Structure formats: C-alpha cells, structure tokens
Amino acid sequence: MERAGHRILAVAGICLFTLSCGDLFAPSVPLERLREAPLQIEIDGRQYTLETSLWRDFMPPTSPGGSDLAAVIDITAVDKLPFPAEIDSNKLWVINGEEVWETGFAEELRPPDQGHLYQLRKVARGGPKWEVGSQVEVVVRVITRSGGIYLLRATNQKIGMTC
C-alpha cells in the first residue's frame, strides 16, 4: 500500500509541475488561433498595429545566465491621432516554435510619452530564458470598454539583449 501512496504522490507532483509550467505549454487560446491573428485590426473605423521590443538583460548585477525575457509592446494607431482611452490590452503571448509564454502586463505607472500619444505601451516581465537572437511571434489581446475583444499579432520579432 505504501508503494501506491508514493505513486499517487509522484503523479500529483508531476501534475502540479505541469500546471505551474502551463504558461509555456498550454496557452488559453489555441496556438493555431494565435498564429492566425491579424497584423492589423480595425476598431471604430481606426486601424491599429503592434510593435514590440523583446530582450534579456546580461548586465551586472543580473545572474550569469542573464535575466528572464522582458517585453515592451506598443499598440499603434496608424492614423497617429491620440490613442483612445476606451481601448486597452490585458494579455500577451510570445510564440517560439511550439512553446508559448502567456502572461498579463505589469502595472507600471508612467506618464505618457508626449511624442507618442497615438500609442498604448505595455510591459511584461518574467518570461522564459529563450536564446537571444530567436525569431518569435507576439500576440496581444486588445479589449474595448464596450466589450470588444481582438487579437493582434507581430511576426518575425527578434529577442535582443542588453550587456
């Protein structure tokens, strides 16, 4: 009976480990749907695109293996008119082959950049330690106060580094 108890604990441990790593293996939106997200969306007659900056930090005092992946995304109003307060983004997916990092955004209160009032900027930290130079796809969920939900994608995004 003791062996069965150990097996149950081992299986439970594996399940918990799998769930804790779920952000890299089982996105809440099917991978095929993420890869089919458009490169430009239209909301209330205005067009929006996605720009990204992805990097890992290798500057001291980070650990010798470098920091976790960080992402800054800008949802850009193509017409360069001020970004509407009714539009936000609350989810990020970074796709590296078959692996997916899914996360929300950090609550970083910064004054808007007066030269970029046509953009919504969001920051995410704590991603995987994927190799610098990797080409990935980035998808964000865009939401509106009226209940609209959109996916927006950027392709061929390169993971950079600071050193």
| pLDDT score of 128 | 97
Domain count, the chain: 1
Residue 47 has pLDDT above 70, yes or no: yes
Domain around 145: 26-162
Within a domain: residue 1? no
**Could you tell me if residue 19 is inside a domain?**
no
pLDDT of residue 8: 45
Question: pTM here?
Answer: 0.82
- Omega before 61 cis (within 30°)? yes
In a domain, 42, yes or no: yes
d(CA 64, CA 11): 34
Within-domain flag for 3: no
The CATH number of the domain where 69 resides is what?
A: 2.60.40
